[in-house]
Amino acid sequence: MPVPKVFDVIIVGGGIVGLATAYKLQEKYPTLVLGVLEKEEKLAFHQTGRNSGVIHSGLYYRPGSYRANNCVSGRKQIVAFAKQYGIDHDECGKIVVATHKEELPRLEKIRENGLKNGLEGLEIIDEKRIKEIEPYIEGIKALWVPEAGIIDFKGVTNKLAELVKEINPASEIITSCEVKSFDKEELTTIQTSLGSYKSRFMIFCGGLHSDRLARKDKVDLDMRIVGFRGDYFDLTEVGMKKIKNLVYPVPNPEFPFLGVHFTRMTDGTTECGPNAVFTFKREGYGKTDFNLVDTIEALLYKGTWKLFFKHWRFGLDEYKRAFSKRLFLKQLQGMCPSLSMEDIKPGRSGVRAMALGDNGDVIDDFKIEYQDRSIHVLNAPSPAATACLAIGDEVMQMAEKHFAFHKE
């Protein structure tokens, strides 16, 4: 039997956070031999490749939080990265639209929050200015956010993987490689679907499976990942004439999602959504997808039921829209009244890894922990893709502290 190759660090998870972490480590420590293990055939297969493709500005996040700080820093880094390597992107800006008077105080509060997070150029605009930016959108006021944009996150992920290999050809990006178990001795032995590997240290960026990987590593968790599917509609060729760039509603602070919005993608298409419904399979992208283990695990967790009880009315409305194009359209018409059934067609879907505490509260900040020669990115909600390079910096600093790396 061949002796397994020994890596300095194995990173589990081939999404944008895992590859950004690998890139940051490899860039600063070029002699490190890194291994990135991804269970799918391609990188960025799950959350990275199925999100809205938006460069988030840092508008909504609590000032001083990991999300706020890393979003602002990460946005600047990822835009510079895209410019340097020719990744499709556009700093097109967005508007957050108030359609009722009761939303105006919330709109102002969002603006103040954005200013605290260091955003520039934020401006409350009137109906006339709204029409200049988005002629088909109806609102009484809106917040103009010039630092928002769109980007090809899959393209970013694949470029990061290329750069890791360029810096050190001994490092490996291994796909179709699912981690089954690992044993920690002097070196950690990782059993996978492709055989065993050895590593001095491990970093877990497991996304939808971050809690399961952490439990395998005996991390004491006070949270669980519960999946929420988001369905999108695409605008038809006629419908695309009604939206230029990015249009968002004023979010309801009582509900842990931003609400359906319009997003122009880097490929020229425009999508609207997502809704947000509990999914009975962690990687369940179809409306009827089901996995017994995932379902039992989620529904036996008290935090899931506490979330349901807190937001049952919102959840019921979201489920109705998930199965009704007419109801989905009605919500979109709140901002774009001229939109018709012929303007939208079913699109793709994604699943968000929502971290829930035992009390049913959504853990909305990034959560990264060290455990016995391993680092676990336990929670990386939106804007993790935008903030990936800043998160990579955070993980690298933690690795420097606990793994005792020294630059040669």
Exposure string for 345-380, b = 16+ CB within 10 A, e = fewer: eebebbbbbbbbeeebebbbbbbbbebebbbbbbbb
Neighbouring C-alpha atoms within 13 Å toward the C-beta of 42: 10
Beta strand 149-151 with 89-90: parallel, antiparallel or unpaired?
A: antiparallel
Residue 175: alpha-carbon gap to chain centroid: 21
Tell me the CA distances in angstroms from 385 to 372, 388, 390, one per residue in order.
27, 5, 10
Task: Give dist(CA 150, CA 341) in Å, integer.
Answer: 26
Task: Give dist(CA 254, CA 276) in Å, integer.
Answer: 14
The sign one gets for the Cα dihedral 117, 121, 124, 129 is negative
Structure tokens at 131: 């029409």
Give per-residue pLDDT as tens, 20-43: 999 999 999 999 999 999 999 999
Quote the pLDDT of residue 1: 45
Quote the pLDDT of residue 318: 83
Rounded percentage of the chain residues whose pLDDT exceeds 90: 83
Sorted by sequence, the CB contacts under 8 Å of residue 287 that are 6+ apart come out as 229, 231, 322, 323
Give per-residue pLDDT as tens, 351-408: 999 999 999 999 989 999 999 899 999 999 889 999 999 999 999 999 999 997 766 5
The torsion region of residue 243 among left (phi > 0), alpha (psi -120 to 50) and beta comes to: beta
Structure tokens at 365: 């900040």
Query: Distance between the two ends of the chain, CA-based, in angstroms?
Result: 34
Give per-residue pLDDT as tens, 235-270: 999 999 999 999 999 988 777 667 789 999 999 999
**Residue 247, strand partner residues:** 95, 262
Q: What is the mean pLDDT of residues 43-64?
A: 92
Q: Which helix (H) or strand (E) holds 261?
A: strand 261-264
Question: Which domains can be identified in the chain, with CATH numbers?
Answer: 6-48+154-222+365-403 (3.50.50.60), 94-146 (no CATH), 224-243+255-357 (3.30.9)
Is there a contact between 22 and 160 (Cβ–Cβ < 8 Å)? yes
Ranges of H-type helices in 184-332: 210-216, 292-299, 302-310, 312-322, 325-332
Q: Which one-letter amino acid corresponds to residue 102?
A: E
Structure tokens at 92: 């097109």
Give per-residue pLDDT as tens, 262-275: 999 999 999 998 88
**Residue 263, strand partner residues:** 246, 271
Report DSSP letters for 282-310, one per residue. TT--STT-B-HHHHHHHHT-HHHHHHHHH
Q: What is the mean pLDDT of residues 63-70?
A: 92
Quote the pLDDT of residue 310: 85
Q: What is the mean pLDDT of residues 115-123?
A: 96
Query: What confidence tier does 2 reach under pLDDT thresholds 50, 70, 90?
Result: low
Q: What is the mean pLDDT of the chain?
A: 93
Among 264, 251, 230, 207, smallest CA distance to 45 is for 207
Among 37, 5, 45, 20, smallest CA distance to 175 is for 37
CB atoms within 10 A of CB 186: 6
Give per-residue pLDDT as tens, 183-225: 888 899 999 999 999 999 999 999 999 999 999 999 989 899 9
Tell me the CA distances in angstroms from 120 to 61, 134, 202, 384, one per residue in order.
15, 21, 38, 21
Report DSSP letters for 371-399, one per residue. ETTEEEEEE--TTTTTTHHHHHHHHHHHH
Is there a contact between 360 and 303 (Cβ–Cβ < 8 Å)? yes
Exposure string for 77-95, b = 16+ CB within 10 A, e = fewer: bbbebbeeeebebebebbb
Is there a contact between 221 and 29 (Cβ–Cβ < 8 Å)? no
